[in-house]
C-alpha cells in the first residue's frame, strides 16, 4: 500500500470513522459522501462505537496474497450497533466457539507486512468477542 493512501484511510482503519447523513440520520461506513438511503450529501464525520454482533462468518483457508501467512482465519460480517455492516477478520477466538448474534468489539491489530523487511506493517480493525480482558 502506498503511503498517501495509508494516511487517507487512517481514521477508517483505526477508529471506525464514517459519516452521518444530516438529512435522514443514516450512519454510513465506509464514508461515501452521498447517503445510500436518501441520496443527500453526507459529509459529517461519525465515530462508530466499534461494538456490534456477528451477522455471518466463514473461515478462509486459501488466503489472498499478503494474507497467506495468516491462513486459516475467520472473517465475519459484523452488524454494528449503529446499523452498518462491516466485513472484518475475527481475532482472539476459536472458530468452534463462534455463533451468529455473538457480541463483538473492534480492536486494532496487525493485518500484514507490506513488502520486504523494509516494508510497512499494516494495522487495521478486527473484531473479538466483547468483554475480553487484554492479556498483554
pLDDT (tens digit, 9 = 90+) per residue, 37-61? 999 998 889 999 999 999 999 999 9
Distances in Å between the alpha carbon of 98 and those of 56, 57, 68, 125? 10, 8, 22, 18
- Which cell numbers hold the place of 14? 483505526
CA gap 90, 69 in Å, rounded: 15
Residue 75 has pLDDT above 90, yes or no: yes
CA gap 45, 84 in Å, rounded: 15
Domain-wise residue ranges, the chain:
1-47, 49-131
Question: Computed over its alpha carbons, how large is the radius of gyration of the chain?
Answer: 16
Mean pLDDT of the chain: 82
CA gap 30, 12 in Å, rounded: 7
Query: If residue 30 lies in a helix (H) or strand (E), which one and from where to where?
Result: none
- CA 77, 78, 79: angle at the middle one, nearest 5? 120
Topology of domain 49-131, per CATH?
OB fold (Dihydrolipoamide Acetyltransferase, E2P) (2.40.50)
CA gap 63, 73 in Å, rounded: 8
- Which cell numbers hold the place of 114? 507490506
Of residues 18, 30, 15, 4, the one with CA closest to residue 125 = 15
- Assign 21 to helix, strand or coil: coil
Query: pLDDT tens-digit profile of 103-130?
Result: 999 998 877 666 656 566 667 889 999 9
Amino acid at each position: 500500500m502506498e503511503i498517501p493512501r495509508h494516511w487517507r484511510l487512517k481514521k477508517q482503519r483505526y477508529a471506525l470513522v464514517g459519516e452521518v447523513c444530516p438529512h435522514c440520520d443514516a450512519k454510513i461506513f465506509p464514508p461515501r459522501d452521498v447517503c445510500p438511503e436518501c441520496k443527500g450529501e453526507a459529509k459529517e464525520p461519525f465515530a462508530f462505537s466499534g461494538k456490534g454482533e456477528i451477522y455471518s462468518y466463514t473461515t478462509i483457508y486459501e488466503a489472498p496474497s499478503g494474507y497467506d501467512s495468516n491462513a486459516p482465519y475467520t472473517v465475519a460480517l459484523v452488524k454494528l450497533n449503529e446499523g452498518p455492516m462491516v466485513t472484518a477478520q475475527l481475532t482472539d477466538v476459536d472458530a468452534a466457539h463462534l455463533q451468529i448474534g455473538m457480541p463483538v468489539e473492534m480492536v486494532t491489530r496487525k493485518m500484514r507486512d507490506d513488502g520486504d523487511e523494509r516494508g510497512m506493517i499494516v494495522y487495521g480493525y478486527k473484531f473479538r468477542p466483547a468483554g475480553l480482558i487484554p492479556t498483554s
